[in-house]
Amino acid sequence: MRHRKTSRSFALLRGSGMSSLLIALSLLALLLICGPYSCDAIPTPKPAKSSSSVKISTKSSSFPRISFDSLLPTPPEVVEQLTKESQATAKSAKLRNVRTRTLSAVVMIGALAAFVKLTGWTELIFFFQAAMYSEATTVAGVSTSPILKWGMCLVYLLVMDGRLLLSTSSSEIAATMVTYLPLATFGLGALGLLAWIAKLNAPTNDIFVFQMSLSEVAACNLAGLVLIGFTSFWIRTLQDYGVSWLLYPALLVIVNDTLAYVFGMLLGRNPLLPTISPKKTWEGFLGATASTLAVAKPLYEAIFLKNAAAAEGATTVPLALCLSLAAYISIVAPFGGFLASVVKRSYGFKDFGSLFPGHGGFVDRLDCQVITAPFVYLLLQAFGVEGVLSGGNGLE
């Protein structure tokens, strides 16, 4: 069944399809010119000195003097004092980290609000996609061929997002581009394949160069499929259901992530996946899950019913939808963060970037959001939620 009438906000979106694509491509070019963000490598740990080692002095010209002072038992009051100082230092470091993360979060929110005000939600999505792709491929060591790296990024952007944006424009040029975009994109990918294979045929290349090149191509494809492919559902959700269905899942992810950090810091004792992410605990995971399920319905009402109190059926909240989304965000979405941790540890990095103090880079902040994006759109379709084209407010 076709929707009846396009809402005012979606009408503005339709008129900006071409401009959104042009602005997004300009942002991509800016990233290409400015280069990737810096990443923080994990420092190589130095071997610890043993506290019980025997000190040998060779100052004497005859026999070395051996000092057994370090083998004597430490007085209990000294041990207690050292323990208190260590605990105080750890607590102070945690408080500094909390202050840094809070300040960075405030700055991020202000910057995002200003960006959306000046450009739009679609342009923000494009910027996120290109920035995350840049960070991920930089961490993976894709540096030998910038043309390959950004060429594949352009292909994924055109395949995943281009058709969606051009289909909202009413111009004849956009209609023509929609018709030929799949063929043009495939041709661009085919030319990239030819250029890549031809470059590998250099007489100085060996098996190591082949393996490194294949690794770079695999990294680019994984980044394009996950970071661009998954987040293209943000654009679908924005077009079909409105910006509220972008904000509601995003806020649930923020609630889950924040409370997992709080519960883990206060009560954390048992590591969840110590090999992958040593700081994540079962206490943080379970506390965040319970909290996210508890706030799912009130948060839905605050976002969707505040401006729809007079709408028919506005008092009926799809509780099953809210709980399903909250459960997915609590149980499945954190594994997007674990996947990001696996990638970082594989290449010896602590964070994907250092743009946001205390938070890392774009991938560090959006890893759980990326995993949630496709589920939100598919869940709304499964529940038959009315979209903006039908004049609905997200309620059944």
Dist. CA 184–CA 204, nearest whole Å? 33
pLDDT band at 360 (very low <50, low <70, confident <90, very high): confident
CB 241 within 8 A of CB 380: yes
In the predicted model, what is the mean pLDDT of residues 220-233?
A: 96
E strand segments, 25-140: 55-57, 65-67
Q: By C-alpha distance, which of 111, 136, 161, 109 is closest to 227?
A: 136
Q: Which residues contact 277 (CB under 8 A, 6 or more apart)?
A: 337, 338, 341
pLDDT digits (tens, 9 = 90+) for 173-183: 888 888 899 99
CB 352 within 8 A of CB 361: yes
Q: How far is CA 1 from CA 118, 167, 202, 335, 376, in A?
A: 36, 19, 57, 37, 21
What the block records as the tokens of 102 is: 């809070």
Q: Select the more confidently predicted residue: 59 or 254.
A: 254
Tell whether the model's pLDDT for residue 13 goes beyond 50: no
What is the pLDDT, as a whole number, of residue 53? 43
Dist. CA 324–CA 330, nearest whole Å? 10
What the block records as the tokens of 99 is: 């202050």
What is the pLDDT, as a whole number, of residue 28? 52
Q: Select the more confidently predicted residue: 314 or 363.
A: 363
Q: By C-alpha distance, which of 133, 132, 129 is closest to 149?
A: 133
In the predicted model, what is the mean pLDDT of residues 51-66?
A: 48
In the predicted model, what is the mean pLDDT of residues 8-32?
A: 51
Q: Which residues contact 184 (CB under 8 A, 6 or more apart)?
A: 158
In the predicted model, what is the mean pLDDT of residues 349-363?
A: 84
Angle at alpha carbon of residue 354, lines to 348 and 357, rounded to 5°: 125
Tell whether the model's pLDDT for residue 61 goes beyond 80: no
Rounded to the nearest 10 degrees, the angle between the axes of helix 121-139 and helix 76-118 is: 140
What is the pLDDT, as a whole number, of residue 386? 81
Is the Cα torsion angle 17, 377, 381, 310 positive or negative in sign? negative
User: Backbone phi, then psi, for 59, in 5-degree steps?
Assistant: -70, -30
pLDDT band at 69 (very low <50, low <70, confident <90, very high): low
Q: By C-alpha distance, which of 91, 51, 90 is closest to 71?
A: 51
What the block records as the tokens of 199 is: 């470059």
Dist. CA 142–CA 217, nearest whole Å? 8
What is the pLDDT, as a whole number, of residue 247? 95
Q: How far is CA 357 from CA 106, 301, 334, in A?
A: 12, 33, 21
Tell whether the model's pLDDT for residue 150 goes beyond 50: yes
| Mean pLDDT computed over every residue of the chain | 80
For residue 74, the one-letter residue type is T
pLDDT digits (tens, 9 = 90+) for 251-288: 999 999 999 989 998 999 999 999 998 889 999 999 99
What is the pLDDT, as a whole number, of residue 104? 74
CB 277 within 8 A of CB 337: yes
CA atoms within 13 Å, Cβ hemisphere of 376: 33
pLDDT digits (tens, 9 = 90+) for 322-340: 999 999 999 999 999 999 9
* Percent of the chain whose pLDDT exceeds 90: 48
Dist. CA 155–CA 132, nearest whole Å? 15
Tell whether the model's pLDDT for residue 388 goes beyond 80: no
CA atoms within 13 Å, Cβ hemisphere of 117: 6
Most confidently predicted of 96-100, 154-158, 174-178, 309-313:
154-158
